[in-house]
Amino acid sequence: MGALLIVLDVALLALAFYTGYRAREVLPFFPIPEAQPPFLAYVPTLLLHVAVVIFVLYISRLYHLPRMTSRFDQARAIVGAVGIGSLLAMGMQELLFKRTIFEIDYPRGMFFYVAFFSVIFVSVGREFHRTLQHYLRKRGLSRDNLLIIGTSR
């Protein structure tokens, strides 16, 4: 089930990036760009964003959750990890891709949309994973082993 969670996070982070790219044209919170580069120009930034956020989720121990975790605690941890990962990805994008063929303007509006949708999509994905895991446990699959040490006194 752990590999499924990672695959789910990768897919949802990529979808959140694309949604953030498209949201720039529709949502009125930030100025609408006059000319927007094609999405393919943002693919290196997308890959960097996904890799960095997955790494931050991993070092934040969000792939090592105990069996019972509060939804609020998990959501708070996701907001922090995705926020830090998004900031790191934005900074790394500027450092790594400057003066290369991958250099592209990564506007602040798109950054905020990508970070917002990343938090929402990862949280929804985690809830889906939790529901699936609960369903499988009720059916007798995905059970955890338990070792009880001690006496009956």
Note the pLDDT of residue 144. 66
Where does the pLDDT of residue 1 fall: very low under 50, low under 70, confident under 90, or very high at 90 and above? low
What is d(CA 106, CA 13) in angstroms, rounded to the nearest whole number?
Answer: 17
pLDDT greater than 90 at residue 150: no
Report yes or no on whether pTM surpasses 0.75: yes
Structural domain contains residue 145: no
Instruction: Please give the residue range of the domain that contains residue 89.
Output: 2-138
Structural domain contains residue 150: no
Note the pLDDT of residue 136. 85
Enter the tokens of residue 10. Answer: 């990768």
Structural domain contains residue 147: no
Report how many domains make up the chain. Answer: 1
Structural domain contains residue 148: no
Where does the pLDDT of residue 125 fall: very low under 50, low under 70, confident under 90, or very high at 90 and above? very high
Structural domain contains residue 26: yes
Structural domain contains residue 151: no
Average pLDDT of 124-128?
Answer: 93
Helices (H), 98-147: 108-138
Residue at token pair 């990672």: 6
In tens, the pLDDT along 34-79 reads 778 888 999 999 999 999 999 999 999 888 867 677 888 888 999 9
Enter the tokens of residue 151. Answer: 């006496």
Structural domain contains residue 95: yes
